[in-house]
Amino acid sequence: MKNETGGQWQFETRCIHAGESTDTDTRAIRRPIHMANAYELPTDIDQLLAVFSWDNLDKFQYTREHSPTPRSLEERLASLEGSEDCIVTASGMGAISAALFTLLNAGDHIVATEVCYTGTQGLLGVHLPRFGVDVSLVDTSVIAEVEAAITPRTKVIYVETPGNPLVSISDIRAVAAVAHKVGALLVVDSTWSGLVTQKPLELGADLVIHSATKYLNGHGDALGGAVMGGKKLLGKIREYGIVHLGACASPFNAWLIMRGLVTLPLRMRQHGENAMRVAQFLESHELVSSVRYPGLKSHPQYEVATRQMTGHSGMLNFSLKLELLQNFEFIKHLKLIKHAVSLGHDQSLLIFIPTVFFFDDMVVLDDRQKQKYEKIMGEGVYRLSVGIEDVNDIIRDLTQAFAAVS
């Protein structure tokens, strides 16, 4: 999206205007939602061939391939991430699955973040091996572990940073160097960054993935995913991962995410400011045994986070000095913060993850890895998605719940 001098408009401006235009039929200043699943085809052979070409994404034939409203979202996200193109999908897992099933074949090897979103763990630990892909899960925040896991068959390194649920930070530039040295591609799930605070492509990543359900939508009312990167690579993913596997985005959900992106910079600024205040409060409270937030100097990867992120987003976790079941008593006393899964909503969301349940979800952690994370997690951790409410109200809610169980 170019301005009058041929340069890019500023990020905040592109959040509003990229992928948007005046409707040619009604002169409405917002593009309409196109819910059609089929489009009238031309009879001229040259025009018909253009419709069926992946080089002409402004021409449509069937919504599973692509359609006007998701395409508007793709244009906006590509502009915001700084990528050549974007594919939007039905969910974050739809984006991850589309990318990995396109990039990997039987006999290939992938190195991936060992502690990541549980759906991703299931894909890595159960389904890819079913189709003959060799998977190595390592702590990608430790570059030596990534290097040690590389084999001659390594085709992809997959990194989730910041990582779910422990907010671990991997050095994208360093991992990209390792990947490219052996001819592998680096795929980064950047969902927890909220897009605003981290630019993986600028740091050397080949593909960036977001669960658009989270910060990009920001209102907790739409599912979606996105893959961003080079046009040639995305062309393969669109055909194999979207058309063949069917992970296409709903036009209505795409419209909702487009709407949410308008306020993304404002929301992410508030998420980050609130999360920092909450993290500092938690770190000072006598009932709290540990806090992990990339903006705190106590975070083990604080220096990497400060170097590669322009903000620290709104996700943190903490543990309390309570017996296991007492943690659920604490949750009962919360009045403002909602006990719920998901994250990146306008409202604050919290969930307690008992370590024993966490290990059940992490399908391929060995005993050494479990011992490592038991030391970090203790009985379990709270994953807190800090919302954009008044931060004093968030802290007040935590304070009264602490008082009720201490």
Which residue type does 379 have? E
Query: pTM to 2 decimals?
Result: 0.93
Which residue type does 178 have? V
Positive or negative: CA dihedral 281, 283, 288, 291: positive
Q: What is the CATH number of domain 11-261?
A: 3.40.640.10
Q: How many CA atoms lie within 13 A of 208 on its CB side?
A: 31
| Residues 228 and 85 sit within 8 Å (Cβ to Cβ) | yes
What pLDDT, in 10s, does the model give residues 295-323?
999 999 999 999 999 999 999 999 999 99
| Residues 370 and 359 sit within 8 Å (Cβ to Cβ) | yes
CATH code 3.90.1150.10 region(s) in the chain: 264-405
Q: Which tokens go with 108? A: 């290939």
Burial-class residue 332 by CB neighbours within 10 Å (0-12, 13-18, 19+): exposed
Q: Which tokens go with 204? A: 């050397």
Positive or negative: CA dihedral 297, 344, 374, 113: negative
pLDDT given for residue 98 in this prediction:
97
Preceding amide of 162 cis, omega within 30: yes
| Residues 220 and 241 sit within 8 Å (Cβ to Cβ) | no
| Residues 148 and 156 sit within 8 Å (Cβ to Cβ) | no
CATH code 3.40.640.10 region(s) in the chain: 11-261
Cβ-Cβ contacts under 8 Å for 304 (sequence gap 6 or more): 141, 169, 170, 171
What pLDDT, in 10s, does the model give residues 135-185?
999 999 999 999 999 999 999 999 999 999 999 999 999 999 999 999 999
For residues 230-246, give the mean pLDDT: 92
Q: Can you point out the beta strands (E) in 118-184?
A: 134-138, 154-160
Among 3.90.1150.10, 3.30.300.30, 3.40.50.720, 3.30.1390.20, name the CATH number for the domain at 264-405: 3.90.1150.10
Q: How confident is the model at residue 5 (pLDDT cuts 50, 70, 90)?
A: low
For residues 357-361, give the mean pLDDT: 81
